[in-house]
Structure 1
Amino acid sequence: MPDDMSRPLIRGRCEGRSSTHLEAAMSEPGAPVIGILGTGDFSRSLARRLVTSGYQVVVGSRVPKRSQGLFPEEAEVTSQMEAASQADLVFVAVFPEHHSTLVELKPALAGKTLVDVSNGLRINQEGPSNAEQLADLFPESSVVKGFNTISAWMLQVGPRDGSRQLWWGTKYNRFPNWLDRWLTRRKQFGLCSFLCAVLHAIYSLCLPMRKSARFKLLDAAVKQVKDGLENSWVDTEVWRMELYLSVGIMALGLLSLLAVTSLPSVAGTVNWREFSFIQSTLGYCALSMATLHAVFYGWNRAFVPDHYRFYLPPTFLLVLILPLTVLLGRLALFVPCVAWQLRRIRRGWEKSKHIRFALPDDEYHNGLEDVSNV
């Protein structure tokens, strides 16, 4: 057993090679052929990394012509049978409910090592794991489970727009170039928002040191004395300021967490589920807190005509348009019928194509049909 565990999965690589060779863009002569079954996000990211590392990559697809443009030019995109026959090592980048569609590849995969990169939908699900189910389907192959803690976003930042995927009914259509470039800049935009939040917090802490702020405070005190007011406490203003500061601090804290997890040294220590939760769920929470921060700042001034100078709305109303649009669009994708359809599309479903597959057990159906539109 120790000898088996120490044996490398990929043979044929020269040992003692410097790290500079990992930047090679072309496959090296004599390098083992790495096969990838599936053309999803993880498959594309993995293929790009393998090609960059100098391996010869062949990708198996049901429709090679459609998937050709999704992969690097150095990677060969062909049918699943040809990819399984040529490869020395095969990565199975297919969702577990579609494993049965690969049964016809059993003769070509006999005696080869299969690496299962899928993860279960539940943390502590009962019954066999995804790798065990794959091993049952391919008893003549050696099945290895890997990449549990590595997500496609860690390998390569890829675009993922739920609204367009719902409209098209598939996840395989390419986004326009402008949208593709925009979505791949999400990390940079997030870091810029964190920088702006930090500068805003520092500026707010420096307000008491400004002469204008001191003069404004003195003017308010003089006015209170002239009016004969003993107590200037206003419950509405106090609650407004408390809420304004509280949600602002929460937004800064969430953005700080997002910025820290964006560091390569930190992102490499979390698994794909944790990374997705922090960058996606907490990202929307940070956006919600920042939006509420602007709402509490404006309070009821949106309904006061005096604040519409030159017939223009207050600045905080203009700032709220974009984040509110994003949050409302995200809430629309949370509607059960829409979320269920989007989840099926991202797991390979297409509304125009039908093949039959077998689910593992009834208890793991999770509402999915036994006919897959893939």
Structure 2
Amino acid sequence: MENSFVMAGGGETAHKRDTICIFGTGDFGRSFGMRLLKSGYPVVFGSRDPKHSILLPSGAQVFSHADALKISKIIFLAVHRENYDFLPALSDLLDEKVLVDVSNNIRMNQYPESNAQYLAQLVPKANVVKGFNTVSAWALQSGSLDASSQVFVCGDDNKSKQLVMDVARSIGLTPLDQGSLLAAQELENYPLQLFPMWRLPFIITAGLTVFFFLYCTVIDVIYPYVKEKKDSSYRLAISVPNRIFPNVSLILLSLTYLPGAIAAFIQLYRGTKYKRFPDWLNRWMLCRKQLGLVALAYAFLHVLYTLIIPTRYPVRQRWMQNIIEASKLGHVTLLLCTAHAALFGWDRFLQSRRYKWGLPQAYMLGMVIPCIVLVLKLILITPCVDRMITRIRQGWESKSKYKAAPVCINNASLI
């Protein structure tokens, strides 16, 4: 059954919204119902005792489970697995309905099968979809556009998944299709992982930190000892870390913008935005914010260590002030940081004595990826290329490159 939604200030019907049914009147159910109502959806709650349901959002109706199912084709099940026992009696009413399981567990792999798979066995006539379990009630209430706005969806029926993803988009969230219902257990484990979006940034940061520590130790500590029998181990406390922080920060900052450039070139090659990026690029793009935050943290550490070390180069401090002031300017920040590194070593580049054991200095290695990103960005902002990528992102397609039917756009397509 469909309902008309009339826009405020006008008498014409803007579009029709399906009535959404919610089973469960807890924090999530109430917050989700409020978000749906604000987006123009008619909302009904299914309750065991409709007369005693309180604290529900204004504008929502409350019915018994059976009556609510009669007027809805999409049902969000916001109850714990232990309370699924009322559903088998409603199996006939759930025939061909879309049943969205939003539940989570209290520990990883708590049951042999996922809650969604168990639900599909319990009510085989329904089209079970797993989704919204990574979105908190607080995010729904506050309208947060943080990483919590990503909605992971999986299910065996593509049409049902598409309906759920349409609901997510219409309330301002970003749906991500994770495939069949077999992925449900992974989605249910996801909220129980510690800082899941930080894992890749931490691994990259740790790897770069260890590499530059060993590299700088070889150049600044081991080399003087081998060649001159000079003990420079005191450098490990201040000088070596102060070489690590700026190089790692610069590389992380460039890695924040590199996937966007790669995605742009992929779209230019394909001639369309209606095609998925590779999984590795999707994962990379989803953690860009975390990479940028770690880069900023390392930059601040570099500033602190620079203030500790007595320096004969006041210009170095002035450059760092400029970089900090420009920290919100994206590629401008990357350009300034790279220029800072280049100016720092402009007089050392051609001095053979600086290449200890033939190894380039650490700042040279730290400039490789940033320079690549800046060159790619320079290509992308040229007028002819910029016009083409803008047309593609506005929906234009190159028929010679892409002739298949359009598929769902994932969040990585929206650069």
Superposition TM-score, scaled by structure 1 size: 0.38
